[in-house]
Amino acid sequence: MKPKHILIYVAALALACGPVLPDPPDPSKYVKGAQCDTACSHWQQLGCDFAEPTPAGVECVEVCEMSIPDAWNLECMAAIESCEQVDSCP
């Protein structure tokens, strides 16, 4: 296989695999009954960008409440240890 083909193969493989998510928090550490205010407060303590107001000035809690929080596992999301971990919640 030519070096050029190997490079194309590796690049395609990297794109197909995508980023690797960190493990979600242990379910025993979930914040039982967590709501948008709990999760947003925790994310702000961690310094997560997504906890900041939107460019239009909409606060995290409002964005969360408008985003169908029942579809999010807020109990898990309020227990993350790093901002990157939020996408790993089931």
Given its phi and psi angles, is residue 54 left (phi above 0), alpha (psi -120 to 50 degrees) or beta?
A: beta
User: What per-residue confidence (pLDDT) applies to 15?
Assistant: 46
User: Taking a C-beta distance cutoff of 8 angstroms, is the pair 60, 52 a contact?
Assistant: yes
- Read off the pLDDT of residues 65-76 as tens digits, 9 standing for 90 and up: 998 778 899 999
**What pTM did the predictor assign?**
0.76
Q: For residue 18, what pLDDT band results from cuts at 50, 70 and 90?
A: low
Is residue 61 a part of any domain in this protein?
yes
- Read off the pLDDT of residues 44-86 as tens digits, 9 standing for 90 and up: 999 999 999 999 999 999 999 998 778 899 999 999 999 999 9
Q: Furthest-apart CA pair in the chain: how many Å?
A: 57
Instruction: Give the chain's mean pLDDT.
Output: 85
Is residue 7 a part of any domain in this protein?
no
Q: Which domain holds residue 73?
A: 22-88
Is residue 12 a part of any domain in this protein?
no
pLDDT at residue 33 is higher than 90: yes
Domain count, the chain: 1
Is residue 65 a part of any domain in this protein?
yes
